[in-house]
Structure 1
C-alpha cells in the first residue's frame, strides 16, 4: 500500500473526525479542528491517505524552537501498515523546516503501541502528568525528542 502524506485541507475534516471519534474517548470537536487549521498560526497538520482515503492524521504546534505534538491517530483498519510512521516522518520534516530543535508530547500510559512509535523516532520518556486524561484520570507519559 502506498501511503501519501500531505497538508490537511478543510474538506478533510469529516474523515478526520471519523478517525478522531474511533481513536479517542474524548474526541476534539469539528470546530476545534477547523480553528486549528484556519486560525492557529502555530499549528501544522497533515493527513495520510491510501487510495485517496484519509486513514490518519497528525498535528503539532511550533512555539519558538519547540514542537508540541497535539495529536496523531490512525484509522483502526489501517494500523501497523506504516501510516503512523509516515505521519511522524512528515511532522519531523516540517519541524526541521520551521527550525524546531526539540519536540514533546503526552501519551497515555496504557498506549504501548503509540509509545513504541514515538521511541522509534527518538522520543524518550522524561516525566509523567498524573491524572492527565479527563475520561479515566489515567496518567500521561511526557516524552521528548531533543535532536530534531
Structure 2
C-alpha cells in the first residue's frame, strides 16, 4: 500500500534518495549543529558520502553501526528547495513493527508555519498504513515547543533518558573512591547486575539502544564466542566492604564513540557510578569518547564526580495504533 498525501501536495512529498540527500544533510546540520554529538556529525558525513557515491541506500553502512541514512521519509519543499525533513526508521520491538520518527527539521526561515506538524502527521500516517503497531520519537527536554506539538498529535511520554559523555583528552583523572574496591566482574556478581540492568535498560527502551543484556552474561562459552567473533568487552564490579555496589560493561563503538552499560545499586547509585567510572577512566583506551545512556535524574552526582557531562536529556514519546493497517 502506498502512503497517500492528502494535504499540501505541492509541498509535502516522499524522500527521493537519488537527489535529496545533499539538501537533507545541509538542513539537518543547519538545524542541529549546536547540539550534535560525534556520532551525529558522523551521520551527516555518511549521508554526504552516500550522495557523492550515488550508491544504494543501506548497502554502504553496516547495520551494526546503527546509522540509518534516509531510506524512508518525507520532505517539505518551497521553490524546489527542501526546507523541511522527517526520517522514518522501521524497527522490530519484540515481534511487532514500530517506526521511529527522526530528524524532524525545518529551516529557520520557514518555522511557525505548520510544516513540522504536517511532516509529523504524515509520518504517523505512513507508519499506520504500513502495519506498524506504534510510532516513537525522541525530543530534547529543552524544546518545549516541539514537545507540545507531539503531545497535541497524540504522543505520550514513555521515558526520559540522559546521554552522558566523556572525552578523555586533557582532563585529569579524579582519585579513586575511598574504601571502594574494584575488581573483575565474576559469575557471582551476575544476579544483581542482571536485575539492575533490567531496571535501568528495560525492554520498553532497550529496543532502540545497541544493548543486548545476554551479551554481558558471564561464562566460558560467552567469552569464547566473543573471542571467536573478535569482539572486545571489559567488565568490572565495585564493592564497599562486603556490599556489592554495581558493575560496568565497556564495549568499543562501531563508529565514533564507545559505550558503557552501568548497573548500579539503586540505594547507592552515586557512589557506585563514581567508583565504576573513575576506574573506567584509568583503564580504557585514551583519546576515545565514551557515552552512557541513563535514566534522567539518576546518579547525577556520581557521574559528574567521575568527569562525565550531560550532553542532552531526551523525552521518549510514543503513539500507538489499536488497529494498524496491514499491507497485502
Q: Structure 2-normalised TM-score? A: 0.40
C-alpha separation in 1, matches of 2:121 and 2:147: 15
C-alpha separation in 2, matches of 1:6 and 1:136: 36
- Structure 1 equivalent of residue 119 of structure 2: 87
Match of 2:57 among 26, 38, 60: 38
Answer whether contact 2:128 2:134 (CA < 8 A) is retained.
no
* Alignment CA distance shift 1:136-1:77 (3 Å): farther
Answer whether contact 2:157 2:315 (CA < 8 A) is retained.
yes
C-alpha separation in 1, matches of 2:145 and 2:45: 26
Deviation digits for residues 79-125 of structure 1 (CA, Å, limit 9, x no counterpart) = 11111111112211211221112111111110112112211211111
Answer whether contact 1:101 1:146 (CA < 8 A) is retained.
yes
- Structure 1 equivalent of residue 19 of structure 2: 11
Q: Secondary structure at the match of 2:20?
A: helix
How big is the alpha-carbon RMSD for the aligned residues of Structure 1 and Structure 2?
A: 2.8
Structure 1, unaligned runs of 5 or more: none
Greater RCO, CA 8 A, separation 6+: 2
C-alpha separation in 1, matches of 2:130 and 2:72: 10
Q: Secondary structure at the match of 1:137?
A: strand
Match of 2:163 among 110, 116, 131: 131
C-alpha separation in 1, matches of 2:72 and 2:158: 24
C-alpha separation in 2, matches of 1:29 and 1:51: 24
Answer whether contact 2:25 2:47 (CA < 8 A) is retained.
no
Matched, 1:141 2:283: no
Answer whether contact 1:104 1:144 (CA < 8 A) is retained.
yes
- Structure 2 equivalent of residue 29 of structure 1: 44
Q: Secondary structure at the match of 1:80?
A: coil
Q: Secondary structure at the match of 1:119?
A: helix
Q: Secondary structure at the match of 2:142?
A: coil
Structure 2, unaligned runs of 5 or more: 1-7, 59-67, 166-290, 292-308
Q: Structure 1-normalised TM-score? A: 0.83
